[in-house]
Chains A and B, each alone.
Chain A
Amino acid sequence: MNIFVCVKQVPDTETKITPTADGSFIETNSIKWIMNPYDEFAVEQALLVKASNPAANVTVVRVGSVKDTEALRTAMAMGADDAILVEAQDNLDSYSIAKALKGAIEKSGKKPDMILTGKQAIDDDALQVPQVLAQMLDLPSVSVIVGFELSGSTVKVKREIEGGALEVYAVNTPCLLAANKGLNTPRYASLPGIMKAKKKPLAQYSLSDVGVTDADRRVKYSGFRLPPEKPAGKKFDATDAAKQKEVVAQVVGLLRTEAKVI
């Protein structure tokens, strides 16, 4: 059984983002990179499947710059068997990334039985790659999954929709599933795992190796800028119990007369 996990390396959630002077992208030099948090759930799910199917092979695939291979090494330290890196600039659009992932999976020579991804990457927040990749590979897909039960070649998954309701899907492999927080609890990489990961195979391709060119770009970004700062608001002290009612009444009043939101 061949499981592929697609991971992305993204700026840490606490990172301050600064647009470049020409607005073409963001400053990437001072950023702390982490594995996209949703991808950790995908890696963990693959490892859980491998635990009950010891013959399964877990390959992690990433499209991105080579300056740091943190995400792939972390995934292999957690227990993935091997990795593929497709070298690319960090601001590729979803269509190009999905096409590169498809090319990398095909180039590996292994026929995927299951592809796992995070439901979204927290850098461009496009929420496209899982579904675009599934469509390109002509695979069924379910996104935003919070439950997973594999029996034979059928996976029963739960997809979270509006209002916390859950849709239950039964899908046969091969399929693509995109993980949400809550699917499982990702393990930490152990020290022996980290040592072993250094010796695990990491294949490296260029975009042209996997058949992606500039003509594959579908979405163009420009004019990166910080959002406008809000002017300072009004602050009220309601620590004095005697004044609380008065202060709250004033704020509630302002929400109608000044802010006009209620």
Chain B
Amino acid sequence: MANVLVFTELHDGKVKPVTLEILGKLAGQTTDVAVIGDLSSEEVAVLAKHGAANVHKLKGSNLDKYSPEGYANALANFIKSKSYDYVFGGATSMGKDLLPRLATQFDAGLASDVVNFTMDGGVFAGTRPLFAGKCLAKVELTGPKPHFVSIRPNALGMTEGLTAGAGAAHDVAADAGNIRAAIAEIVKAASSKVDLTEANIIVSGGRAMKSAENFKILEELADTIGATVGASRAAVDSGFAPHAMQVGQTGKTVAPSLYIACGISGAIQHLAGMRTSKVIVAINTDPDAPIFTKADYGIVGDLFTIVPIMKEEFKKLLGK
């Protein structure tokens, strides 16, 4: 059995779902959670229900906003005061930026973007996609401890039949240390929608969307089913959508429950970014488009007529 720390990020004061996926999968280990900042007793209870023995709330000056150095320093000092075998976190924007820095403070290794793992005998062994999902490999860690692991959101899924932990909350005085790269401002408020990498449902548009304005019909479908809108590289390169929306090898790698590809032919570099979606629906006028080989449900037809009908059908289904 291993001693494990899970670092959790907050979104609107709530722990991110990836934290709960990780906790569920770590059943059988001794697992603590660390958060930077405050956490409500309701959220501590959620963590306890998913197996957290202790919840450490790291508080100190210069930690109100994320900074790579401040967060890494605060967590490093805390981790040094304990004896964890493993530190887990989500492979989110913050996790991807923070965890490599943090691991290097211990000269330790990080297995990043892991999609599944076992802890047999308290030893981590994971699976992760490489070459943008064109192949999979087993990943193991060696060298100084603690070992670090980042988990791709949505990949593990939620565990059923949870084993609860004590969930004892502790305030910990934290030191951000010397911060040389600090956020001066946030220029654009984050959209209320979930980011593509964490989205449960994605509606994506390709070159066949023809214009940026036409993405409106995808937005409307997305709003109906609580989805986030994505785009193919062809659509981004044609100026129909910003790069932040790009799904694929040079965009974002996503793993939603449902991926609806509209007017996307399915170039290998796009498939690489979305092939691990649980269910794929493809809408394309070309019956031979490669996307249909990966689709669970393929609809051969014009997206400009199919998408609005689909929106209405979902509305009916969801009683909206």
Supply 10 further A-B pairs (C-beta < 8 A) apart from A140-B181, A249-B313.
Answer: A125-B112, A127-B91, A131-B101, A142-B181, A161-B93, A163-B194, A163-B244, A217-B143, A235-B299, A252-B313
Q: Which of B27-35, B125-133, B167-175 contacts A (4 or more CB under 8 A)?
A: B125-133
Structural contact, A181 and B250, CB atoms closer than 8 A: yes
Task: Mark contacts of A244-262 with chain B using CB atoms, 8 A cut-off: 1 yes-contact digit, 0 otherwise.
Answer: 1101110111111001011
Is B10 an interface position by the 8 A CB rule? Answer: no
Could you jot down 15 A-B contacts, CB within 8 Å? Answer: A13-B272, A93-B109, A126-B113, A144-B93, A163-B190, A165-B190, A180-B243, A181-B251, A220-B139, A222-B138, A225-B135, A235-B297, A238-B300, A238-B306, A261-B201
Structural contact, B190 and A236, CB atoms closer than 8 A: no
Q: Which residues of B contact A165 (CB under 8 A)?
A: 186-191
Contact of A221 among B138, B193, B244 (CB under 8 A): B138
Q: A123-B130, A218-B108 are in contact. Are A169 and B306 (CB under 8 A)?
A: no
Q: Which of A51-59, A170-178, A196-204 contacts B (4 or more CB under 8 A)?
A: A170-178
Q: A13-B249, A248-B299 are in contact. Are A135 and B105 (CB under 8 A)?
A: yes
Least CB distance from A243 to B in Å reads 9
Structural contact, B258 and A169, CB atoms closer than 8 A: no
- Determine the residue in chain A with the shortest Cβ distance to B197: A162
Task: Mark contacts of A220-240 with chain B using CB atoms, 8 A cut-off: 1 yes-contact digit, 0 otherwise.
Answer: 111111110010111111110
Q: Which residues of B contact A38 (CB under 8 A)?
A: 250
Q: Which residues of B contact A172 (CB under 8 A)?
A: 180
- Determine the residue in chain B with the shortest Cβ distance to A172: B180
- Determine the residue in chain A with the shortest Cβ distance to B195: A162
Structural contact, B136 and A225, CB atoms closer than 8 A: yes
Q: How far is the CA of A181 from the CA of B243 in the complex (A)?
A: 7
Q: Which residues of A contact B163 (CB under 8 A)?
A: none
Structural contact, B104 and A14, CB atoms closer than 8 A: no
Q: Which residues of A contact B66 (CB under 8 A)?
A: 167
Least CB distance from B206 to A in Å reads 16
Least CB distance from B142 to A in Å reads 6
Q: Which residues of A contact B108 (CB under 8 A)?
A: 218
Tell me how many residues of A have a C-beta within 8 Å of chain B: 88
Q: A167-B183, A261-B278 are in contact. Are A255 and B130 (CB under 8 A)?
A: no
Provide the main secondary structure of the chain B interface: mixed
Is A11 an interface position by the 8 A CB rule? Answer: yes
Q: Which residues of B contact A237 (CB under 8 A)?
A: 287, 300-301
Is A141 an interface position by the 8 A CB rule? Answer: yes
Is B42 an interface position by the 8 A CB rule? Answer: no
Q: How far is the CA of A26 from the CA of B105 in the complex (A)?
A: 31
Q: How far is the CA of A126 from the CA of B113 in the complex (A)?
A: 7
Task: Mark contacts of B78-110 with chain A using CB atoms, 8 A cut-off: 1 yes-contact digit, 0 otherwise.
Answer: 000000000000011110111011011100111
Structural contact, A127 and B180, CB atoms closer than 8 A: no
Structural contact, B306 and A166, CB atoms closer than 8 A: no
Structural contact, A94 and B137, CB atoms closer than 8 A: no
Q: How far is the CA of A251 from the CA of B310 in the complex (A)?
A: 9
Contact of A122 among B194, B250, B276 (CB under 8 A): B250
Q: Which residues of A contact B143 (CB under 8 A)?
A: 95, 215, 217-218
Is A191 an interface position by the 8 A CB rule? Answer: no
Which residues of chain B in 47-99 are interfacial with respect to chain A, using CB atoms and an 8 Å cutoff?
66, 68-69, 72, 91-94, 96-98
Q: A131-B68, A140-B181 are in contact. Are A218 and B317 (CB under 8 A)?
A: no
Least CB distance from B69 to A in Å reads 6
Q: How far is the CA of A143 from the CA of B68 in the complex (A)?
A: 9
Is A128 an interface position by the 8 A CB rule? Answer: yes
Contact of B268 among A14, A168, A262 (CB under 8 A): A14
